[in-house]
Amino acid sequence: MAENRAQIKALESVSNQANWNDFVAPLDHIEERLGRLWATVSHLNAVCDSEDLRRAYEAALEKWTTYQTEVSQNRDLFAGFKRIEESRELDSLDLAKQKTVGNAIRDFRLGGVELEGAARQRFADIATELAALSNRFEQNLLDATDGWHLDLTEEVDLEGLPESSRALALQAAKLAGIEGWRFTLQASAFIPFMMFSSRRELRRKMYHAYTTRASDCGPNAGEWDNSVVMDRILELRSEQAVLLGYDQYVDYALVTRMATTSSTVQNFLDDLVQRTRSYARKDLEELAKFAAQEEPNTKLEVWDLPYWSERLRQSRYKFSQEEVRPFFPLPRVLEGMFEVARKLFGIVVRPAASKPQVWHPDAMFFEILDDTENVCAQFYLDVYARANKRGGAWMADCIGRYRKLDGSLQTPVALLTCNFAPPVDDKPSLLTHEDVLTLFHEFGHGLHHMLTKVDEPAVAGINGVPWDAVELPSQFLENWCWESAALDLISEHFESGERLPAELLQKLRDARNFQSGLRMVRQLEFSVFDLRLHSRLENKGKQSIQDVLDKVRRDVAVVQPPSFNRFQHSFSHIFAGGYAAGYYSYKWAEVLSADAFGRFEEQGLFDRDSGRAFLTEILEQGGVRDPLAMFVAFRGRKPSVDTLLRHLGLAG
């Protein structure tokens, strides 16, 4: 940072005669170098948490945020970019450089560069505090997740659980040095327990612990409570937006999105709620009826829903996720996924010739060869759940593509992280089909980052891509997980070597849209909650976060959880993950991805021309072009929500 500050000082002195080569290029160089360093630090904080690393990260985070604010409020740098924008040079620059200049000017303004006096300092202070609060939110959630478990010693308490779930719990108990079985709140343990355990009181216990993590309720009430953290985050975001002249935070956040107004987003969500809520009600009614038939006088509670849903799925389709698990050993799924990418985009993915230093023995390292057989990208893959690792799945930028000052090209590197059940005994990690979808999703993000042909770091890969378009490649790639030609590539029984049988494949596909109404409305509930939470200036001081969520549930949801449910306390996407006033992006991009896949439905699953077009029109473009224009160039028309609803079986 000291080196960067010194070089920025030198650039300030020439801002009144700024041009690309002598001003923007050297600034990009030092910013890219520092960004690479911080990407590594940030990743380690997420995947191998410890007290020492946590203290070091918190100290570094404050310095990092202070530096970022200094740069975003540097008026000499701002003036330099404006000079280029207003000069004749701009027209001579390529589109990537022009976009870099335009985005920089926009981001300087969003960073408070035009504020004066106390407002300017206040904006900087808010940025520092928000970074610390988001980190604290994530740490509280990690500690709360790791801080509770269910230990069982009687085999009768395992009734209904599949062998894979029992084996994982047995392994967890052995690692902890105890007898019996240990079920944690990590998704790989929690989800199958809720789906298969026939012990209702234990399901309630698990649900209660899971939905009260990091809150004022539950078995660890108040210990890692995010309540004050969330209130403060929302308060500061609102103040930040007002300082820049916006009425509410959502207006500030949407400046960089495809959907540029809150009314556009609200209308989009309202339309989907109106179209799909009746399907969700029908799903719930069918589930309640089925449970009552199987166990008369049973009152369906929320901790019963996964269990009875799985029972209904098995009854209706003669299918369970556990049936397909043996056919999806991780090594085979990876091999098949890479073959899908080869068929679509002409790339080859293979283990790297030499493995660099990694943070955990389970982390893998791969390289990608382009159609000229040159290494064009690399990525780390860390897929197993473990203690001291953040939950969920994500892709992060490790190193971006960049044409350096000496003309050499920097190879992009991605960080792909999941939380699947690890290998048990002599068995490989066996994935559910949901896990396979998650893996393809994150790989899609990775390809977006790694296959870019843009040389300017600010708009290469996912950089500069509007947040509500960034999910397009990830959700797009998921579609191949349902197609027989692709499933033949990614499935192989871990013992017999048999491909996924046609009968089982048909059951899988038949069950694809099982409870799609409930799943859609659940995601819409999250999206509307996020939007209202960041649009509530008129309710300032009157409505708590819980009040907002309760109202959203009355307006949108068909399932009403118990009063102790504290979902919001673990909603990392909006409080720590960059999706503030942006959770709608998943549904927004899902419309794009479903419609984009429609071309392959029409032309062929592995149609080479279509694959090449998606590569050149979407993946390679980075953040240079308008996402809607890119979509139209690929699809030949604007997107339609009807394709998504048809895929989900929710078309009227």
Q: Which residues contact 9 (CB under 8 A, 6 or more apart)?
A: none
Residue found by looking up tokens 């046609």 in the block: 502
- How are beta strands 375-384 and 364-369 bridged, if at all? antiparallel
CB 352 within 8 A of CB 622: no
Instruction: Render the burial of 581-605: b for 16+ CB within 10 Å, e for the rest.
Output: bbbbbbbbbbbbbbbbbbbbeeeeb
Task: Compute the CA torsion angle 264, 267, 272, 274 (nearest 10 deg).
Answer: 180
Beta bridge partners, 351, equal 366
Planar angle of CA 299, 303, 309, nearest 5 degrees: 80
Q: Coil, helix or strand for 587?
A: helix
Which of 442, 492, 525, 617 is an active site residue? 442
DSSP string, 244-311: TT-SSHHHHHGGGSSS-SHHHHHHHHHHHHHHHHHHHHHHHHHHHHHHHHHSTTPPP-GGGHHHHHHH
Distance separating alpha carbons of residues 44 and 47, to the nearest angstrom? 5
CB 462 within 8 A of CB 470: yes
Task: Compute the CA torsion angle 94, 97, 103, 106 (nearest 10 deg).
Answer: -90
Based on the residue annotation, tell me whether 442 is a catalytic residue of this protein: yes
Task: Compute the CA torsion angle 72, 75, 79, 82 (nearest 10 deg).
Answer: 40
The pair phi, psi for residue 94, each rounded to 5°, is -70, 170
Residue found by looking up tokens 């701009």 in the block: 90
Q: 520 is written with which tokens?
A: 């859609």
Residue found by looking up tokens 């390679």 in the block: 620
Residue found by looking up tokens 């392959």 in the block: 600
Catalytic residue positions, numbered: 442
